[in-house]
Every structure is written in C-alpha cells, then in structure tokens.
Amino acid sequence: MTVQDAASAPDTGAVRTYLLGLQDRIVETLERLDGKRFLSDDWQRPAEGALRGDGRTRVLDDGDFFERGGVNFSHVVGDRLPPSASASRPELAGRGFEALGVSLVLHPRNPFCPTVHFNVRMLLATAPGVAPVFWFGGGMDLTPYYPFEEDCRHFHQACKDALDPFGADLYPRFKTWCDEYFYLKHRQEPRGIGGIFFDDFTGQGFDDAFGVMQSVGDAFLDAYVPIVERRRGMPFGEPERDFQAHRRGRYVEFNLVFDRGTHFGLQSGGRTESILMSMPPVVKWHYDWKPAPGSPEAKLYTDFLIRREWV
C-alpha cells in the first residue's frame, strides 16, 4: 500500500458533500418517475461506544411504480475495522475506521422493468502515529426478469462511458469483477446481467480515485432511467409476477450470504433497518422449479444469465 502525498490527502468532508448531493439528485428523479414521495428518516448514532455517526435513509414502499425503493446515505466512525473490511488487508486489522457512502436498491412492480443496485463508498482506516489508508468502492448492476438486449447494452455502455476518461482498462476490469462478485456459487448462476463493481480502489491517489467514484455516481440515472421509461407501460399478469418473485429469491440469497456491504454493516453494528432496506417486499422460493423450454423465462437463463460482452 502506497502512502498518498499531501496534495492528494483523503478528504472525507468533500466526499460527504458529494454523496449527500448525489442522494438528493437521485431521490428527486425517482420521485418524479414514481409520483410518490420517499419517506425521510434521518438518524444519528450518539458519540459513545465503538460506533458513532449519522445517516439519511430514504425509502419508498408500495409506490405507484416502485414496489420498494431505498436510497441511503450513512457516515459512521468506529474503533475497529470489521472482519469483512480487513479480510483482504490483514495488515489493517484492529485499526479504527471512517466509512461513508450512498447505497441504492430499486424493485419495480412491473416484471419487465429490472431491479437495479448501485452504491458508491469510501473507507478510511486510521491508527495513531501512522498515515491513514483510504480506498473507494462501489458500482452498479442490473437484475432483469424479462430482459431486452438494448437495455442491457445501454446499461453497460453507460458504465463504460463513466470509466473510460480514467483509463481504457477500468471498464473491462470492473465489468469482470462484477461478473465474478455477483455470482451465486451455490446456484452456479449470476444474479443478473452485471455492470461494474470495484473495491479497495486507490487509483493514482485520492483525487483520481474520488473522480472515478463521482463519475460512476453521476452515471447512474443515465444508465437506469431510460430503461424504466421504455418498459414501464408494458402489460403483465400473475405469471410474470410469480416469476419475478421467484427470481427475487436469488437476490435475497446473494445479499444475505455473499454481499460484503451487508456483512460490513451488520458486523460493524450498523442500523439494521437501513442495511436490510434492499430486500424486496414480495419473494417466493419454488422447490426445484425449472422454466418450460423455449419460454420467455427460459430465455433469461439461456441468453442473459451467462458471461458475455455487452459493449
């Protein structure tokens, strides 16, 4: 781990200001799409014990379009890095930390509109007498039920466009990372059609890495909103809703079993309601269910839940 020079020293204040503005912009756009307002739940953890901080939870339940949506900001300070954060950096185990980020999950009611996950975050590891160590993480990924080629290509193109100014190697690298990360090993299948994912990222220093995070954050609405606008009027019935609920079960399995963000939040004593707001409100698990050959449901598995290049 290289120590960043003073000109590129980590600035959590600047990151916080950006993240709060990003949360506001996203919520305002989603409220226009849905027609209903998000519930606002600002919270603060007292400056006592091993964890302290504050956050802004924005949740929409039973909206006109979104069955469940959450856009959360949190900024917490702790005395000891949780195991999920130091697993790949054992030399940092035992350090204090500061973590802040925006995390979003949207579950539309219409099965022809995909679920989407997005987050951007920064973590700072601290210890007396040594320089702080920072890294950024985040990304976005799409989980369709009845997918369309043009939507998947659009989503990946928006991800690529966000990263290309910082190096042509970033999109293929982060795309592969996403494919490998959002994979249900016990099911031997991807969660969705991917996107980009990155973690432990320091770039060429704080300014460069922060720039990557901001570009990814700024790209989210352009990546997702056009897909919603194309598909939201498509008619659907109970068979499509049933398949959507079945596939949502895979989403829950990943979040609880594999997701580092969920593990970090729970291990650090974070706010459970905010951590688990990503769960869909209606989910089903069908025993040993398989789609009929040649059906639209089968096409999801044969044509989309596979490793492939989209752009």
The DSSP element (H or E) to which 214 belongs, if any, is helix 206-231
Is the CB of residue 178 less than 8 Å from the CB of residue 195? Answer: yes
Say how far apart CA 109 and CA 77 lie, in whole Å: 36
Pairing of strands 39-45, 51-61: antiparallel
**Residue 263 appears among annotated catalytic residues:** no
Task: Quote the tokens at residue 41.
Answer: 């739940």
Q: 120-159 as b/e, with b when 16 or more CB fall inside 10 Å?
A: bbbbbbbeeeeebbbbbbbbbbbbbbbbbeebbebbbebb
DSSP reduced 3-state for 221: helix
Q: Amino acid identity, residue 81?
A: L
C-alpha count within 13 angstroms, C-beta hemisphere, residue 289: 15
Known binding residues for a divalent metal cation are 107, 117, 156, 186
| Catalytic choice (117, 154, 246, 286) | 117
Closest CA to 210 of 19, 65, 5, 70: 19
Q: For residue 142, give the nearest of 118, 164, 119 by alpha carbon.
A: 118
Count other C-beta atoms under 10 Å from residue 91's C-beta: 10
Would you name the residues annotated as active-site residues?
117
